[in-house]
Homo-oligomer: A and B are copies of this chain.
Amino acid sequence: MPSDPPLPAVAVFAGLGGQRVWSLMVSLFGDLAQGHGDAIDGPVLSTIMAALDVRPEASRVALHRLRNDGWLQSRKVGRISQHSLTAQGRAESVAASPRIYAAPPDLSEPWQMVMVEENGRDTDGALRNAGFIAAMPRAYVGRIDSAAPEGFLALPGNTPPDWLRRAVEPAELEADYSALLSALTALEDELPRADQLNALHVAVLRCLIVHNWRRLVLKHPALPGGLIRPEWPGYQCHLRVDRLLHRYPRPALQELAAASAAA
């Protein structure tokens, strides 16, 4: 693969910024090797990182950092190293996966508004921890099945006005979501069919998609579907991420090892 022309995705996504090598590696292990006992062989990891346009020295530094942080562990098996998530790294990857890999929400999903007597840090924290989003002074929105604490007024929602839909969007991520949307839209048009890509190509592609999506989606609570503006870039990204990850399914680690050996 090092002799292949670089995947268009690499250049497109490199323009989005936020591609710290250790963080890319977290995305890669989370996507490919989250299962108990999963490990990525050193040569496979090197090939993928090279395809991601990361220099070998930068990969070694990132691996070292993630081992020190207790996220990854490495062991020698014969002549090669095998790298895997630690129990902690796997637990954190597992915890983040439902948000990262969630299907796009149904836009008719019911929602509720929860009103509080007064704004206090405790109340605010409790509601945010329960997945609620501040929408107005003393009013939060959430999915209909999110339980509001006792003593709050919880009213089931109905067709929301446009201003409310916009009020719950994470405004600070608007530009980032728009840039990701452009990148994903370009990718969908340009990428070859899955059967024309080998397992390593797919691993690289998925890593870029998951990584750039994860950076944004984990920064804000999930919006209840019934409050989402269909044209909101965050939702449009979600549709494309979901389509792409289904179009290019996760390769098995054995396929990766075989593709790497053949390269």
| Shortest Cβ distance from residue A262 to the other chain B in the assembled complex, whole angstroms | 59
| Shortest Cβ distance from residue A13 to the other chain B in the assembled complex, whole angstroms | 37
- Segment from A3-11, A74-82, A152-160, A247-255 that makes contact with B: A152-160
Residues of chain B lying within 8 A (CB to CB) of residue A155: 113, 155-158
Does A138 touch B at the CB level, under 8 Å?
Answer: yes
Q: State in angstroms the CA–CA spacing of A133 and B154 once bound together.
A: 19
Does A231 touch B at the CB level, under 8 Å?
Answer: no
Contact status A139-B115, CB under 8 Å: yes
Q: How many copies does the complex hold?
A: 2
Contact status B161-A151, CB under 8 Å: yes
CB-CB nearest in chain B for A138: B136
Does A117 touch B at the CB level, under 8 Å?
Answer: yes
Residues of chain B lying within 8 A (CB to CB) of residue A164: 115, 117, 153
Q: State in angstroms the CA–CA spacing of A154 and B157 once bound together.
A: 9
Q: Which residues from 184 to 243 on chain A have a C-beta closer than 8 Å to any C-beta of chain B?
A: none
Q: Which residues from 143 to 167 on chain A have a C-beta closer than 8 Å to any C-beta of chain B?
A: 151-158, 160-161, 163-164
Does A2 touch B at the CB level, under 8 Å?
Answer: no
| Shortest Cβ distance from residue A171 to the other chain B in the assembled complex, whole angstroms | 15
Does A17 touch B at the CB level, under 8 Å?
Answer: no
Does A98 touch B at the CB level, under 8 Å?
Answer: no
Q: Which residues from 66 to 97 on chain A have a C-beta closer than 8 Å to any C-beta of chain B?
A: none
| Neighbour of A138 across the interface among B137, B152, B153, CB < 8 A | B137
Contact status B156-A161, CB under 8 Å: no
Q: State in angstroms the CA–CA spacing of A157 and B156 once bound together.
A: 8
- 14 further A-B contacts with Cβ under 8 Å, apart from A113-B155, A154-B158, A155-B156, are A113-B115, A113-B153, A115-B139, A117-B161, A117-B163, A136-B137, A136-B138, A137-B137, A151-B161, A153-B160, A153-B161, A153-B164, A155-B157, A155-B158
